[in-house]
Structure 1
Amino acid sequence: MKHRGRHRRQRRGQALRATLAGTALALTAAATLISTSQATNSNSPGALAPLGAAATAGGFRLNENLLPEDTLTTLTRNMGGNVGVSGVLADTDHVMRDRAECSGTERSALPLEPVATRAYCWAGDDARTREWRPASVTTSGDADDDGMWGEQRVIMAGWTHDDRSAATTAGDRGLARIALIDASDPRALAYRWVLLVAPRDGGRDFDAVRSRMSGMVWYQGKLIVTGRGDAGRDDALLVFDLHHILKAGVDGTAVGRVRGGYSAHGYRYVLPAVGSYSPAGGTCGSAAGSVPCFGSLSLDRTSTPDSLVATEASGPDGDRTRIWRYPYSTVAGREGLLRSDSLGRVDADEAYTTKASGLSGALSHAPVGARRADWYVGHTPGNGGRHGTLWRQSGSGAEAVRCSGDQSYACWGQHTSSLSYWQETGELWTLSGAGSDTTPERTLYAVPLASVDRSLG
């Protein structure tokens, strides 16, 4: 299904914002029941420090690797044609619980300030499993600036398999999946799981993508996800085409071609990769640390052109973390791919270091009329289940969201992951439960970016 063009009328977005504002009034009172007595390290990460042109063009350079077009054509034909986003959403089999139906433990993972105006919890086993963890989020607000994909509002949540679980089998190890969520009605979100796969044998077969997804961005027709694997193997970024979601006709535990068709380890739908971006300087973490490992991803629609924002994977005790951006291509036929030169090389056009360690997502956004973007950086504390901190950084300094109850900075959600800004509604989306060893705190929620700015202190 072809998605609608850009520059759509704004009335729908204004009406939706008005509806969500009414929802926020009801949630504000509930938020006051949550204790704000927790503290966190309030040491400011200070101003962003720009990296020079040589550093930006060095360790951040990527090589583009796209599959031959006939590979995906062959696989699509063999599996009965493209189902598309709308086909999956017409076949949802899970219903998310609204905030009122979430448990007290789940609600305790939400931010203390600013209040989440929309909050949801997962269905059944997805809320309790220790084998899977939510890792990243993107929306149709990233995909198209009118916030829609066709006639639907859509959220994607990436989950990665936790191979430390005692129940892990060889077939489960390293799997990556996407929850494709119909968010057209804010009162009734429903979803279906889609397995990420990689074509092989010229498109006549496929394997499972086995990767720890920590970030993803859906832009135009492409989905880019982090593709870090085990044993030092790192494809950096994997690329998928949302116009090619395919249906596995055989319900079995195998992955790939089997007698009678194709099986996807019990999943009905698969999303095949169409390429990758690999680090030109070698495996991440090599070359004396000049090649960063990818952490989270987000989209900046306020840059020119639109750009993919990336953070370095880092622990809570590091001294500095790198954040940078890659411009998207504006060449016809390359929609959703990064800007590359004639040799397929992709360079970052801006990079910084920040003293904010243990990053759990970063977002770049320039207010109307501003010459430079602000960077919103989530920080996860290194111990316990405490709430995190959300900083807004620039080249001149940093401010954090402050809890009004005790003036501490531990106001953000618990164990949050990547950030996604929905331009049409003005909402900042994220997930909780990404880094916790416990499971009942998994939520999907949104806060208005304007509320974040008002809460800074």
Structure 2
Amino acid sequence: MTQRGRHRRRRRGRALRAFLAGTALALTAAATMISASQATVGDSPGALKALSAADRGQLRLREQSVAPASLERLASAMGRPVGVGAVLADADRSLREAIGCSAGERKSLPVEPAATRAYCWDAADTRGWQPGAVTTSGDADDDGLWGQNRVILSGWSRRESATTGQDLARIAFVDAGDLNHPTYTWALLAVPVDGGRDYRALSSRLSGMVWYENKLLVTTTSGDRDALYVYDMNRIQRTTVAADAVGRVHGGWSAHGYRYVLPAVGSYRLAGGAGAPRLDGISLDRSTAPDSLAANQWVPAGGDRRALLWRYPFSRDERHSGLLAADPAGGVRASEAYETKATEIGGVLSYRSDWYVGGATGTPDAHGTLWQQSTSGARATRCGSDETHRRCWSPRAQSLSYWEETGELWSQSGRVLFALPLASVDRSLGQMIP
């Protein structure tokens, strides 16, 4: 890069940071006025209550794998699977930096702490789709890279596609190598059927997603509900027909018009049966030994059920790469679980014995509260001078993903993908409330 090019990049970076800081100041002023008029804003969920080993039994998972012969049959028919690098090489769409986002889109950003990176999706490319979870190559590998690539994955879902009659779920593969100009392309999530002779669309809203080693784990809450589906990032298939249909079609293979499709290689389901908690949000925790999958259950405000936060250890067996630690019968036990008074949880992150819990307000465009909880109490990020000013978090953020190598927390709210330092969250926390 030329010296002139480096100067342009520095100037653009400074301009973007100044723009985001100005946006945060405007949001802070609005949030402060709202919070000051509402004495009950952000009632504290208090301390976490640990569950006993017996109570954690309801959180046991059953592991199920797609038969290797089915996957090989599908690959034989569709052609050799490709990897993430091949998908990124086809990235033909661009995200807009925050300075190019509309005022309405920027209202989706957190008030305090302020986002340090923010991007908007094209309305035409996302119309009719519901944004969901986010994960990154920072989850996949502790050096933050997958091969030579820095990658962000963003999950989206669509209810009852008019063209296919199916619910659909797709992943944006974002090339994050140059965060001044991130590009992306789409891949559809699918499930093999008929012994690998065909596949169907994964039919669900995506509520959580973690990319760990070579596996992508995705939670489903509707259609293919109450499951954790597993995808192999080395088993991405190219389609050959650009049709609206999903699966085998005349002349080849289609995935609702997308060039790539990921067939599931397995799944996990809660073994507790009717009335058992549901996997809603998930994230990766690299501060535990072994690394673990943090999970949460969503419960509505005003209900009589307590939400749960819990974790599963990942396997250390290389033959079980990227998967949870299962016993010989395929059972996976929760290693830790807590009750929380937090409701309408929009994203959860566990790191160094603390749990970060995003809480919604019940009003789509109203800012929520980001709590840090432990067994000692809870603290919230603040955007004012006292403890009542807690409506500071993004209104509709559904996922939290910590990129440990860069220290950044990534999330998504509406059509806005954003990041901020986890350290800035900790600095903005108020006093501990038991």
Please, what TM-score do these two structures have when normalized by structure 2?
Answer: 0.91
Query: 2:134 aligned to 134, 137, 143, which one?
Result: 137
Give the Cα–Cα distance (whole angstroms) in 1 for the partners of residues 109 and 296 of structure 2. 23
Aligned to 1:437: none
Shift of the 384–72 alpha-carbon distance from structure 1 to 2, 3 Å rule, reads closer
Matches within 5 A, 1:33-432: 33-34=26-27, 35-36=30-31, 37-39=33-35, 41-56=41-56, 58-127=57-126, 129=127, 131-163=128-160, 168-169=161-162, 171-230=164-223, 234-282=225-273, 286=274, 289=275, 291-319=276-304, 320-366=306-352, 373-404=353-384, 408-432=389-413
Give the Cα–Cα distance (whole angstroms) in 1 for the partners of residues 47 and 15 of structure 2. 36
Shift of the 269–97 alpha-carbon distance from structure 1 to 2, 3 Å rule, reads same
SS at match of 1:310: strand
- 1:200 Cα deviation after fit: 1.8
Please, what TM-score do these two structures have when normalized by structure 1?
Answer: 0.86
Q: Is the 8 A contact 1:308 1:328 kept in 2?
A: yes
Gaps of 5+ in 1: 1-18, 367-372, 434-441
Q: Is the 8 A contact 2:109 2:416 kept in 1?
A: yes
Give the Cα–Cα distance (whole angstroms) in 1 for the partners of residues 364 and 392 of structure 2. 15
Q: Is the 8 A contact 1:161 1:172 kept in 2?
A: no
Shift of the 187–382 alpha-carbon distance from structure 1 to 2, 3 Å rule, reads same
Whichever residue aligns with residue 146 of structure 2, its letter is W
Q: Is the 8 A contact 1:376 1:390 kept in 2?
A: yes
Number of aligned positions between the proteins: 410
- 1:383 Cα deviation after fit: 2.5
- For residues 194-235 of structure 1, the C-alpha deviation after alignment (integer angstroms, 9 at most, x for no partner) is 1001112222211111112100100000001012333xx635
Gaps of 5+ in 2: 1-11
Give the Cα–Cα distance (whole angstroms) in 2 for the partners of residues 405 and 246 of structure 1. 53
Q: Is the 8 A contact 1:316 1:359 kept in 2?
A: no
Whichever residue aligns with residue 45 of structure 1, its letter is P
Give the Cα–Cα distance (whole angstroms) in 2 for the partners of residues 227 and 277 of structure 1. 11
- 1:73 Cα deviation after fit: 2.0
Shift of the 30–278 alpha-carbon distance from structure 1 to 2, 3 Å rule, reads closer
Q: Is the 8 A contact 2:163 2:244 kept in 1?
A: no
Query: 1:444 aligned to 393, 417, 426, which one?
Result: 417
Q: Is the 8 A contact 1:235 1:276 kept in 2?
A: no
- 1:404 Cα deviation after fit: 2.8
Give the Cα–Cα distance (whole angstroms) in 1 for the partners of residues 132 and 303 of structure 2. 21
Give the Cα–Cα distance (whole angstroms) in 2 for the partners of residues 178 and 156 of structure 1. 6
SS at match of 1:29: helix
- For residues 40-87 of structure 1, the C-alpha deviation after alignment (integer angstroms, 9 at most, x for no partner) is 72211000000111011x210111000122221221222121221111
Identity of aligned residues (%): 51
- 1:405 Cα deviation after fit: 6.2
